Amino acid sequence: MTAKEFYDKIGGNYNEIIGRLMSEDIIPKFCDIFFENDCYQQLLDGMNEKNVDKAFRAAHTLKGISANMAFTQLTLISSAITECLRAGDMDGASIIFPKLKREYEKAESAYEELKN
Amino acid sequence: MDQKVILIADDADLNREMLKLIFNEQFYILEARDGQEAIDTIAANKETLSVIFLDLVMPNKDGIEVLKYMADENLKGRIPVIMITGEATDATDEKAYEYGASDIIYKPFSPNVVMRRTLNIIELFESKAILEKQLVEETNQFDQITNELKESNAFLIDMLSSVVEFRGTESSDHISHIQTFTSIMLNYVREYYPKYGLTEEQCKLITIASALHDLGKISIPDSILLKPGKLTPEEFAEMKKHTTFGSDIIAASKKNDSEFYTYCYDICRYHHERYDGNGYPDRLSGDDIPIWAQVVSIVDVYDALINKRVYKPVYEYNEAMRMIKDGECGVFSPEIMDCFDLAKEELIATTIIK
């Protein structure tokens, strides 16, 4: 799997990330940093604990790093959840969360494929 | 090397790595993972930091707290702060600028734009710093020149006054006594009688001008000026003219209308006028006599009383005070008498030290 195929598969913008990183070679390095960030786990915990503040911070971080990675789908959905949580709307966030979980896990497994 | 130092403060390492990718060729990069680390790093590097990238949402003190710290430490105008934010809404932008951010960049970063804006902002702050430094230097120079001018003015006035003094019979300290007493009295007038509208700067000018009060004595013949013992009525009439001689000399040297000219003229001419109209040369009364002339009148009398003159013995301070209060040296306004009473201790203290 090429980096381009990886981006296509997860609903990302390949041209945008090349514009930002200037080289395809360092995409894996940045993917590593992305998936090592514990914000997704924090968001999961925050949702389970019904801790709005914790969940908001995590969603906000996820949104920022997804945007920087040009993971467009993930950016849109984490942005939506961030805005729910900013408004303190835990129920709204809970409705969106499963979709975010699907997208994140899809990205994660596609990345495993890219590495192998 | 002259490599510029930047601080990247963001809790997500991915964001820091992306900014590092943009800047690590040209800049020396410091990193902070939360607000507290950012504050510590700023504190340790405040002299060398060229720009700070600051995330708003961070654990252990957020971006706003970092900006508040910078405002408290007076660093706001010195180190530019570029806010990193995820959402381009008017509300967050306004908040960032309100707290003193210089610029805002949005995630996702666009390398060329970020680099261009960063370089612009560094350049802007550097030229601002250079301009401020120049301005401070120029202001210092200007202050220095102004001070030198003031000093040389005061020196010339003292010298001119001394010429009169040396020829006359007054004690050699008369001029400096008059200036000191005038200054003390003016402080009380300014504080207790705001109706006269005197400012601190005006009081300084009046104090300098007070040295010239007897300038006209230069035109009084030795036979009268240096005569021991009582003057005849004709001689006294001649002696009184030192007031108008003085103001004539001042008027003849007039260059333009200025406060200082007015003080000099009035003090020369009116420092022997009395509140009840029984003074000379114009028999002015009440507040027709300018307040600065009234002040110099009373301190002139006081200094004359406590110093030996050819025509009179020396009086002790308290006796001099009493004579003035009892109206033995002419009538002064209630306001002037009140200030003289308030200034009493200070006047005596200065007199004894001298």
What is residue B170's predicted lDDT score, i.e. its pLDDT? 63
pLDDT at residue B354 tops 60: no
Q: What is the pLDDT of residues B168-177, one digit of tens each?
A: 666 667 888 8
Q: Is residue B142 part of a domain?
A: no
pLDDT at residue A43 tops 80: yes
pLDDT at residue B88 tops 80: no
Last residue within a domain, chosen from B114, B137, B160: B137
- Taking CA–CA distances from B21, the nearest residue in chain A reads A21
| Tokens (6 digits) for A71 | 């993971």
Task: Give the CATH number, domain containing residue B25.
Answer: 3.40.50.2300
B32 - beta bridge partners? B9
Answer yes or no: do B278 and B203 share one domain: yes
pLDDT exceeding 90 applies to what percent of chain B? Answer: 53
Contact between A37 and B12 using a beta-carbon 8 Å cutoff: yes
Q: Is residue B229 part of a domain?
A: yes
pLDDT at residue B252 tops 70: yes
Residue B315 phi, psi (nearest 5): -105, 150
Last residue within a domain, chosen from B137, B154, B180: B137
Q: How far apart are CA A16 and CA A14, in angstroms?
A: 5
Answer yes or no: do B124 and B229 share one domain: no
Task: Assign B19 a pLDDT band (cuts: 50, 70, 90).
Answer: very high
Answer yes or no: do B79 and B179 share one domain: no
Task: Assign B165 a pLDDT band (cuts: 50, 70, 90).
Answer: confident
- Look at chain B and report how many structural domains it folds into: 2
pLDDT exceeding 70 applies to what percent of chain A? Answer: 100
Task: Assign B352 a pLDDT band (cuts: 50, 70, 90).
Answer: low
| DSSP secondary structure letters along B108-135 | SP-HHHHHHHHHHHHHHHHHHHHHHHHH
What integer best gives the mean pLDDT of chain B? 88
Answer yes or no: do B48 and B108 share one domain: yes
Q: Is residue B208 part of a domain?
A: yes
pLDDT exceeding 70 applies to what percent of chain B? Answer: 94
Answer yes or no: do B240 and B120 share one domain: no
pLDDT at residue B54 tops 70: yes
Q: Is residue B157 part of a domain?
A: no
Answer yes or no: do B248 and B319 share one domain: yes
Task: Assign A58 a pLDDT band (cuts: 50, 70, 90).
Answer: very high
Answer yes or no: do B228 and B311 share one domain: yes
Å from B138 to nearest chain A CA?
46
| Residue B295 identity (one-letter amino acid) | V
**B244 within 8 A of B273, measured Cβ to Cβ:** no
Task: Assign A27 a pLDDT band (cuts: 50, 70, 90).
Answer: very high
Answer yes or no: do B173 and B319 share one domain: yes
Give yes or no for A42 touching B (CB within 8 A): no
What is residue B311's predicted lDDT score, i.e. its pLDDT? 58
Answer yes or no: do B74 and B202 share one domain: no
C-alpha B173: how far from chain center: 28
Answer yes or no: do B174 and B123 share one domain: no
Answer yes or no: do B20 and B130 share one domain: yes
- The residue range of the domain holding B125 is 4-137
Last residue within a domain, chosen from B120, B137, B154: B137
What is residue B353's predicted lDDT score, i.e. its pLDDT? 56
Q: B14, B24, B106: which to substitute to probe chain A, counting the most A Cβ within 10 Å? A: B14
Task: Give the CATH number, domain containing residue B224.
Answer: 1.10.3210.10
> By 3-state DSSP, what share of chain A in percent is helix, strand and coil, each rounded to 5?
85, 0, 15
Q: What is the pLDDT of residues A1-15, one digit of tens each?
A: 899 999 999 999 999
| A53-67, B30-44, B83-97: segment of lowest average pLDDT | B83-97
Contact between A30 and B17 using a beta-carbon 8 Å cutoff: yes
Q: Is residue B145 part of a domain?
A: no
Q: In what order do the strands lie in the sheet with B27-32?
A: B27-32, B4-9, B49-55, B81-85, B103-106
Nearest to B74 by CA among B111, B43, B44: B43
Q: How far apart are CA A14 and CA A21, in angstroms?
A: 11
Domains in chain A, please, with CATH? 3-115 (1.20.120.160)
Give every CB contact of residue A58 below 8 A, 6+ residues apart in sequence: A39, A40, A42, A43, A46
| Tokens (6 digits) for B193 | 């009688």
Residue A71 phi, psi (nearest 5): -85, 85
What is the ipTM for the molecules in this complex? 0.87
In chain B, residues with a C-beta closer than 8 Å to the C-beta of A61 are 11-12, 57
Answer yes or no: do B183 and B321 share one domain: yes
Nearest CB to A33 within list B17, B59, B87: B17
